[in-house]
A and B are shown apart, each in its own frame.
Chain A
Amino acid sequence: MAILSPPAASTAEYAPPRPSRWATAWQFVVQNPLGAAGALVVFVMMFMAVFADFVTVYDPTRNNFGAMLEPPGAEYWLGTDQFGRDLYTRIVYGARTALLVGFVSAFVGATLGLVLGVASAYFGGRFDLVFQRIMDVLMAFPLVILALAVVSIFGTGTHNVILAITIPFIPRCARVVRSSALAVRETPFIDAARACGFSHTRIVLRHMVPNVMAPYIIMMTAAVGQAILIEASLSFLGLGVQEPVPAWGLMLRGGAQEYAESAPWVAIFPGIAISLAVFGFNLFGDALRDWLDPKLKA
């Protein structure tokens, strides 16, 4: 009778220890200093948005006609606008609007694009053909024009601006995700899942979606910056967030052009805030792409 040898140690014992989250984060910082700088900008922006009440002393919406167009100084760090409102306070509160619009529209747009793109790749055939033609039509529309039409239908205001920005994002994300999902569809584990008799919904959501997360995350981070830019553009045109809500694009609409010569700070600081925010998200998104792409890692 053969003597059974003791069971081999499980593979987990031989696997290298998984680095802790802090170690992974530190590795990211060391390998992507620019990306880390972007992440810092995003973090500061989020901090400002959350703790706006604690890091400012003025009311962002209250007019003070005794302090109109005050230059930057000790009392008003970044000066005041034509209604005497503190620019620093409005920029800090404006981060809330920018982040709300940016995150919600990027998340919803990218997620819907993810599901539709994966479904289009999975089902293929006529569904894919028709779906791609619809995406073609939506993508041929300039982004700002489509957003403009949506705002005209539903009206202005933060929620409608989010809707207006979300719709144009869906086809852009769906197109990118579909190209990755087409490769995943051909892998043997999808055939195996089909052979096991799993439902289409299960295969799409449990087996395909997790395998196209990298382009999804990249599209989402890039979309946050773009959403902030479109929100600023729409607000600048008077079609986005409405007064007295503090929003960066709206601040440039007010007196920025009218008082450009006599009070340039009204035009300069909100623009710097927009650029820094988008800069931060883009840097972070780029680094994340490098981090998640195994080819670039190698």
Chain B
Amino acid sequence: MYYYILKRVLLMIPTLFGAAVLVFCLMRLIPGDVCVLRLATGGGMDPQVLRNCRAEIGTDQPMLVQFLQFLKGLVIFDFGKSMWTGRPIIDEIGLRFQLSLQVAIMATLTAVLLAIPLGTISAVKQNTWIDYLVRAFSIAGVAVPSFWLGILIILGILITSKAWFGVAWMPPITYVPIWIDPLHNLSMLIWPALATGYRYSAVATRMTRSAMLEVLREDYVRTARAKGVFRKLIVRRHALRNALLPVITIIGIEFAFLMGGLVVTEQVFNLNGLGKLFVESISNHDYNMTQALVMLVVAIFAFTNLVVDICYAWLDPRIRYNR
């Protein structure tokens, strides 16, 4: 097992290196310059000031030197300073990471709490009205854009609060950590978590249903039934545990994507998370920031995949990674 984990961790290196090359090249292909954007005042620009700016942030260096500096930063976990704000990247990301991580965890919890019971019921009651209802709910979840759902949630809050309290209420827009003011924090983040969690739950519900349908037809389930084991026990202990493998994969992949992929939902709810930072850094040509963010997301993706694989062995004792 330890050998397997070590092998997987080593296999992350080419993926991370590939991602580093890709993001470095992509950023240099975007037309424009962070210094031109920073110094743009509407009138002409002093070429000397422009040169000084480029020298200061290091974009006047040859490409290979810039790339090696980026790689060195990756190895020692020093991503440098933001080319746009001048602040250390670790600080800039740290501010947003908390918020994005909390939304991702809350959305995952919403998804798991909805998907596993709904998917299981849908499979157990296959081709009944409950199954049709759950399937319609999950297919609709995949089809509805989460940003539109976000707009509808805001609209619903506005209308309901006005009707009940006479004053329109909007979720707070300043982030306060949950351990400082839990009520303020939850009243701000519960809405994006619901909007995202619904879509996420739809994907996981479909996966749970199809995996459960397959497992419920297995010989060992039939044997358990023949032995007179209670139906609930068969579903919970024999079927669900084995059906969870593909569901965990989906949950893991979606969680990794939520960390940086909530670009549009953050826009709707005016959240200052990693997704918004991504858009800002790309449009500002902030190479350092975009590179650091991409590497963070790719590393989270690779790490989540590893955790998912380890979970496989825990859930299914037949899976062993010794060889």
Known interface pairs A144-B261, A260-B158; A153-B26 also in contact (CB < 8 Å): yes
Q: Is the CB of B29 within 8 A of A271?
A: no
The DSSP consensus for interface residues of chain A is: helix
Q: Give the contacting residue for A236; candidates B29, B260, B264; CB below 8 A.
A: B264
**Is A24 an interface position by the 8 A CB rule?**
no
Q: Is the CB of B278 within 8 A of A137?
A: no
Query: Cα distance A35–B152 when bound, in Å?
Result: 28
Q: Is the CB of A274 within 8 A of B148?
A: yes
Q: Give the contacting residue for A278; candidates B31, B143, B279, B297; CB below 8 A.
A: B143
Q: Is the CB of B151 within 8 A of A256?
A: yes
Cβ–Cβ < 8 Å partners of B155 in chain A: 260-261, 264, 267
Cβ–Cβ < 8 Å partners of A144 in chain B: 261, 263-264
**Is A282 an interface position by the 8 A CB rule?**
yes
**Is B52 an interface position by the 8 A CB rule?**
no
Cβ–Cβ < 8 Å partners of B23 in chain A: 149
**Is B257 an interface position by the 8 A CB rule?**
yes
Q: Is the CB of B143 within 8 A of A279?
A: yes
Residues of chain B in range 4-38 having any CB-CB distance to chain A below 8 Å: 14-15, 18-19, 22-23, 26-27, 29-31
**Is B267 an interface position by the 8 A CB rule?**
yes
Known interface pairs A137-B18, A145-B260; A261-B147 also in contact (CB < 8 Å): no
Interface residues on A, range: 35 or more
Q: Give the contacting residue for B145; candidates A34, A152, A271, A282; CB below 8 A.
A: A271
Query: Cα distance A232–B279 when bound, in Å?
Result: 16
| Interface flags, B144-181, vs A, CB<8A=1, else 0 | 11011001101100110000000010000000000000
Known interface pairs A137-B22, A257-B268; A237-B145 also in contact (CB < 8 Å): no
Q: Is the CB of A145 within 8 A of B29?
A: no
**Is A143 an interface position by the 8 A CB rule?**
yes
**Is B187 an interface position by the 8 A CB rule?**
no
**Is A229 an interface position by the 8 A CB rule?**
yes
A68 to chain B, nearest CB (A): 19
**Is A2 an interface position by the 8 A CB rule?**
no
Q: Give the contacting residue for A133; candidates B15, B27, B261, B267; CB below 8 A.
A: B15
A136 to chain B, nearest CB (A): 5
Q: Is the CB of A271 within 8 A of B152?
A: yes
A268 to chain B, nearest CB (A): 8
Q: Is the CB of B14 within 8 A of A271?
A: no
Q: Is the CB of A257 within 8 A of B26?
A: no
Query: Cα distance A237–B275 when bound, in Å?
Result: 12
Q: Is the CB of A148 within 8 A of B264?
A: no
Q: Is the CB of B140 within 8 A of A145?
A: no
Cβ–Cβ < 8 Å partners of A149 in chain B: 23, 26-27, 30, 282
Q: Is the CB of B151 within 8 A of A140?
A: no
**Is A283 an interface position by the 8 A CB rule?**
yes
**Is B301 an interface position by the 8 A CB rule?**
yes
Q: Is the CB of B15 within 8 A of A279?
A: no
Q: Give the contacting residue for B168; candidates A261, A275, A283; CB below 8 A.
A: A261
B168 to chain A, nearest CB (A): 7
Query: 8 A-B contacts, Cβ less than 8 Å apart?
Result: A133-B14, A136-B15, A137-B15, A144-B261, A145-B297, A237-B263, A271-B144, A275-B144
Interface residues of A (CB under 8 A from B): 34, 133-134, 136-138, 140-145, 148-149, 152-153, 225, 229, 232-233, 236-237, 249, 252, 256-257, 260-261, 264, 267-268, 270-271, 274-279, 282-283, 286
Interface residues of B (CB under 8 A from A): 14-15, 18-19, 22-23, 26-27, 29-31, 135, 139-140, 142-145, 147-148, 151-152, 154-155, 158-159, 168, 257, 260-261, 263-264, 267-268, 278-279, 282-283, 294, 297-298, 301-302
Q: A153-B31, A261-B155, A277-B143 are in contact. List 6 more A-B contacts (CB 8 A).
A: A141-B22, A257-B154, A260-B155, A261-B159, A267-B148, A274-B145
* Those 7 A-B pairs whose CB atoms lie nearest each other, nearest first: A137-B18, A271-B148, A142-B261, A278-B143, A279-B143, A140-B298, A140-B301
